[in-house]
């Protein structure tokens, strides 16, 4: 199977994890190609039994497509963990570097990286790493703006690939595992105020929506 197909399937899985529908336009934007090119690829994958496509309802994965997607996502997140945990790259660098490396990494190399990275269960951004037998661990968390004021929490994951946003969050020490408490939602769509280990941090609502919280 063409590696490009693998990455399409993985991106469809990611989109469906965020949105109720995976449209051709959203998929094309994520893949950095035209809608026409995406439409041709979807037809090919549908013919091969990896996706279903219903006009106006979007693209979904078949069981075989989901198995491939989870394998690709596992490889990607292990590579990110290795780059950060072992090689010392920043979490803002990991995604783009992994995009470059993952086409060349075979399963034996990925397995060795998994061991050297400490058998991680999550990538540096907090996203769960699918198991070797193709299961995605369930994560129970919600976006930061929906978390109740005054209730202790910890950062579960950060759902952005934008390096500038990741760098800024790192400067504020808003990383996966960080405990915090929301102290105030400023009125009129103002910032959300956080208590982070005794320091007050103000976070804009747009950026706050990328941060997911769970119970400590």
If you ran DSSP here, which 8-state letter would residue 204 be given? -
Instruction: Give residue 104's pLDDT.
Output: 85
SS3 state at 215 = coil
Residue-by-residue pLDDT tens, the chain, 216 positions: 567 899 999 999 999 998 899 999 999 999 999 999 999 999 999 999 999 998 778 999 999 999 999 999 999 999 999 999 999 999 999 999 998 898 888 999 999 999 999 999 999 999 999 999 999 999 999 999 999 999 999 999 999 999 999 999 999 999 999 999 999 999 998 999 999 999 999 999 999 999 999 998
Q: Which CATH number fits domain 3-61: 1.10.10.10, 1.20.1560.10, 1.10.260.30, 1.10.357.10?
A: 1.10.10.10
Domain positions in the chain: 3-61, 142-214
Sign of CA dihedral 109, 115, 119, 125: negative
Spatial distance between the Cα atoms of 180 and 197, rounded to a whole number of angstroms:
7
C-beta neighbour count of 213 within 10 angstroms: 25
Instruction: Give residue 18's pLDDT.
Output: 87
Instruction: Give residue 2's pLDDT.
Output: 60
Spatial distance between the Cα atoms of 144 and 156, rounded to a whole number of angstroms:
10
Q: Are 68 and 9 in contact (CB under 8 A)?
A: yes
Give kind and range of the element (H or E) at residue 5: helix 3-18
Instruction: Give residue 216's pLDDT.
Output: 84
Instruction: Give residue 55's pLDDT.
Output: 79
In the chain, how long is the greatest CA-to-CA distance? 56
Q: Which CATH architecture has domain 142-214?
A: Roll (2.30)
Q: List C-alpha distances in Å: 110 to 5, 83, 158.
A: 19, 12, 23
Spatial distance between the Cα atoms of 125 and 92, rounded to a whole number of angstroms:
9
Instruction: Give residue 27's pLDDT.
Output: 96
What is the tally of helices (H) and strands (E) in the chain?
8, 8
């Amino acid at each position: 199977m063409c590696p490009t197909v693998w990455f399409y399937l993985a991106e469809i899985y990611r989109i469906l994890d965020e949105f109720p529908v995976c449209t051709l336009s959203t998929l094309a934007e994520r893949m950095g190609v035209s809608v026409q090119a995406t439409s041709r690829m979807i037809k090919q994958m549908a013919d091969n039994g990896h996706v279903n496509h219903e006009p106006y309802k979007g693209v979904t994965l078949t069981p075989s497509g989901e198995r491939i997607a989870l394998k690709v996502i596992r490889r990607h997140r292990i590579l990110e963990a290795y780059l950060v945990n072992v090689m010392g790259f920043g979490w803002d660098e990991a995604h783009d570097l992994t995009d470059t490396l993952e086409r060349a990494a075979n399963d034996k190399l990925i397995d060795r990286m998994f061991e050297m990275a400490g058998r991680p269960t999550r990538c540096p951004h907090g996203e769960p790493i699918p198991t070797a037998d193709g299961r995605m661990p369930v994560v129970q968390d919600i976006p930061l703006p929906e978390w109740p004021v005054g209730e202790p929490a910890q950062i579960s994951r950060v759902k952005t690939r934008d390096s500038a946003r990741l760098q800024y969050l790192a400067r504020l020490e808003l990383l996966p595992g960080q405990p915090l408490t929301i102290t105030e939602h400023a009125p009129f769509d103002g910032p959300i105020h956080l208590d982070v280990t005794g320091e007050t941090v103000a976070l804009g609502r747009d950026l706050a929506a990328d941060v997911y919280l769970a119970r400590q």
